[in-house]
């Protein structure tokens, strides 16, 4: 198996790429979102539907910002953990 650093260098992986969750709750939530969206598409005027879609886009934007922050935080915590490990190895 290739190291993570080599995989990143050769373009075999990217931090933003990941598989879709294989989770029944995730799938059920997606179906509910689709059903509710279709409901509103059927009753809203074109102007209201445009605003509704903008609202959805804003939720996506917020989710992306939160995911980026979580990635930075988790990566930083991983680095700090490794620093502690290397400090411990020096004590051995």
- Give the model confidence (pLDDT) of 3-37 as tens digits: 777 877 888 877 667 777 889 999 999 999 999 99
Name the residue with higher pLDDT: 91 or 73.
Answer: 73
Confirm whether pTM is higher than 0.85.
Answer: no
DSSP secondary-structure letter at 83?
A: H
Look at residue 16 in the predicted model and tell me its pLDDT: 67
- Which whole number is the average pLDDT over 81-90? 85
Q: Per-residue DSSP letters for 63-76?
A: HHHHHHHHHHHHHH
Look at residue 2 in the predicted model and tell me its pLDDT: 63
The ranges assigned to domains in the chain are 20-91
Look at residue 9 in the predicted model and tell me its pLDDT: 81
Task: Please give the structure tokens belonging to residue 64.
Answer: 């992306």
Q: How far is Cα 2 from Cα 74, in angstroms, rounded to an integer?
A: 23
């Amino acid at each position: 198996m290739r190291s993570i650093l080599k995989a990143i260098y050769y373009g075999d992986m990217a931090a933003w790429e990941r598989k879709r969750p294989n989770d029944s709750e995730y799938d059920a939530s997606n179906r509910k979102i689709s059903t509710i969206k279709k409901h509103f598409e059927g009753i809203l005027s074109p102007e209201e539907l445009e605003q509704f879609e903008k609202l959805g886009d804003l939720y996506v934007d917020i989710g992306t910002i939160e995911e980026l922050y979580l990635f930075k935080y988790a990566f930083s915590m991983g680095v700090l953990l490794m620093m502690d490990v290397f400090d411990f190895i020096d004590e051995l």
